[in-house]
Amino acid sequence: MKYIIKPITSGDEYFLSEMLYQAIHIPKGKSPLPREIVYCAELAGYVQSWGCGGDCSFFAINANANQSIGAIWLRLLVGENKGYGYVDDNTPEMSIAILPEYRGQSIATQLLTHLFTLDCGKSSVSLSVSANNLAIRLYERFGFKVVSRSDDSLTMKRY
């Protein structure tokens, strides 16, 4: 499949919300959460009012179908808006998601590569990931290291 990577704009907030929903790890055998969960206070900050200073993001688009199929984004979440992957007030949190039918096709690898070759991905970056998520190996390949653990979740940071 041929796909292209392009920046996300403020007009793409709806799809970014869908990607936030897709980024929520649901273990096998568990029921999916309602889509409205992305609007709860703990998650809404990852996409609400997208395009503020410092926000950096990219879509992967299926070039044949002209359909957005994945996204990667960085946002600095501080103060009362701290996210699940918070490590300090200077480290933006990264989120990444691919639509289920496109997973396993190296799209996440390409999005990570794209992000880290640009200025917005040159600083330290953190993320939160479920401890049983296979994506941990992908993050480790890109230099992320576990900096804390709570319950079934890991916070990882790339320096």
Mean pLDDT across 143-157: 96
Picking from 46, 51, 58, the residue whose alpha carbon sits closest to that of residue 114 is: 58
Query: Which percentage of the chain shows pLDDT scores above 70?
Result: 99
How many structural domains does the chain have? 1
Picking from 86, 99, 103, the residue whose alpha carbon sits closest to that of residue 153 is: 86
131 in a structural domain: no
144 in a structural domain: no
75 in a structural domain: yes
113 in a structural domain: yes
**Residue 41's CATH number:** 3.40.630.30
pLDDT of residue 40: 94
40 φ, ψ (degrees, to nearest 5): -70, 155
Query: Which percentage of the chain shows pLDDT scores above 90?
Result: 75
154 in a structural domain: no
148 in a structural domain: no
CB neighbourhood size of 4 (10 A): 11
Residues in the chain: 159
pLDDT of residue 59: 95
**pLDDT at 54 > cutoff 90:** no
What confidence tens digit (pLDDT) does each residue in 97-131 have? 999 999 999 999 999 999 999 878 778 999 999 99
53 in a structural domain: yes
Rounded distance between C-alpha atoms, residue 114 and residue 136, angstroms: 18
90 in a structural domain: yes
